[in-house]
Structure 1
Amino acid sequence: MSNTTAISNVFKLIEENHIKFVLLRFTNIKSKEHGVSLPVSAIDEDFFEDGKMFDGSSVEGWKAINKADM
């Protein structure tokens, strides 16, 4: 399956299931699980290529808040 097809399938699932929010899950370097919720309006084709930036200063093991730059 090509990336284009996979991305199209995601948008199809969003529409068919009336999805309102997308939850992104990740772990820090200490293996603690975290999540970021995004409204579905923030998801576009560029999202799959560029990803989503967030402030990691609140995630233990990443940059301290005074050193954070997103």
Structure 2
Amino acid sequence: MSVADVMKKIKSNNIKFVDLRFTDTIGKEQHVTVPVSAFDKSKFTDGHAFDGSSIAGWKGINASDMLLFP
């Protein structure tokens, strides 16, 4: 599915939030929920920034800026 298809599906289905799911280094499922107002096609090229220090075993607070790509 292309980026344009995803964005069209979000609009045509009146979706309010996008849930970005991933697994951490030990295999536990994690997620970040993004309101549609903050989700555009740039997320596919620039990523979505989040704080990796909130995930066990990831970066410490001083080096925790992470990018998640859909």
Tell me, yes or no, whether TM beats 0.5: yes
TM-score by length of 2: 0.82
Q: What is the count of residue pairs matched by the alignment?
A: 65
Any stretches of 5+ residues in structure 2 without a counterpart? Answer: 66-70
Which ranges of 4 or more aligned residues in structure 1 deviate by more than 3 Å? Answer: none
Higher strand share: 2
Higher helix share: 1
Q: How big is the shift at 1:69?
A: 3.9
Any stretches of 5+ residues in structure 1 without a counterpart? Answer: none
Aligned-residue Cα RMSD (Å) equals 1.5
Q: Percent identity?
A: 52
TM-score by length of 1: 0.82
Residue 60 of structure 1 aligns to a residue whose secondary structure is coil
